[in-house]
Amino acid sequence: MSTRTVLHDADIDRALTRIAHEILESNRGAADLVLLGIPTRGVTLASRIGHLVARFSGQDVPVGALDVTMYRDDLSRHPTRTPQPTVIPEGGIDGKVVVLVDDVLYSGRSIRAALDAIKDNGRPAIVRLAALIDRGHREVPIRPDFVGKNLPSARDERVNVRLSETDGVDEVTIGS
């Protein structure tokens, strides 16, 4: 079994910094912006991006969590993880620009589920998508607006994102 590291901590920092700048540029500032991370690591990434956006814009950005477990259409094929709490920031998401944040974009099914979950929590003006890694292999027509790294991969390869807050180290690895 061969595993190689494709992003180290400095690479992840640069990718998140670029994503934060791109979010601010596309939104023309931080007004009406809400970041919602998809558990587990998407929440951590959303928090990091939120801090960067606040640092660059001088304006705090609400950050929350959007659990999509029970909205997935492939629960019978994949073992279920324990649902995490959905935390919508004070002020809600109605009329806001919501940026969904996930660690790895693969089939697009998690994001499709997230769009259903958002609908149950409010009506944003715009929904955008940020992913640290886009590895391709879409099964639904979903495309990220902000990407840290495009990482072509084989279907049988595994992409692992490890973050210091949950795993003690910042790195992205790929292996079979």
Residue-wise pLDDT for 40-55, tens only, equals 999 999 999 999 999 9
Question: Tell me, what DSSP letter sits at residue 64?
Answer: E
146-150 β-sheet, strand order = 63-65, 33-37, 97-105, 126-134, 146-150
On whether the CB atoms of residues 28 and 59 are closer than 8 A, the answer is no
Query: pLDDT tens digits for 136-162?
Result: 999 999 999 999 999 999 999 999 999
What's the whole-model pTM score? Answer: 0.94
In a domain, 120, yes or no: yes
Q: Is residue 2 part of a domain?
A: no
Query: Is residue 110 assigned to a domain?
Result: yes
CA dist 86 and 67 (Å) reads 5
**Looking at the predicted structure, is the pLDDT value of residue 35 above 90?**
yes
What domain range includes position 82? 9-157
Tally of domains within the chain = 1
- Cβ contacts of residue 75 below 8 Å, gap of 6+? 69
Structural domain contains residue 103: yes
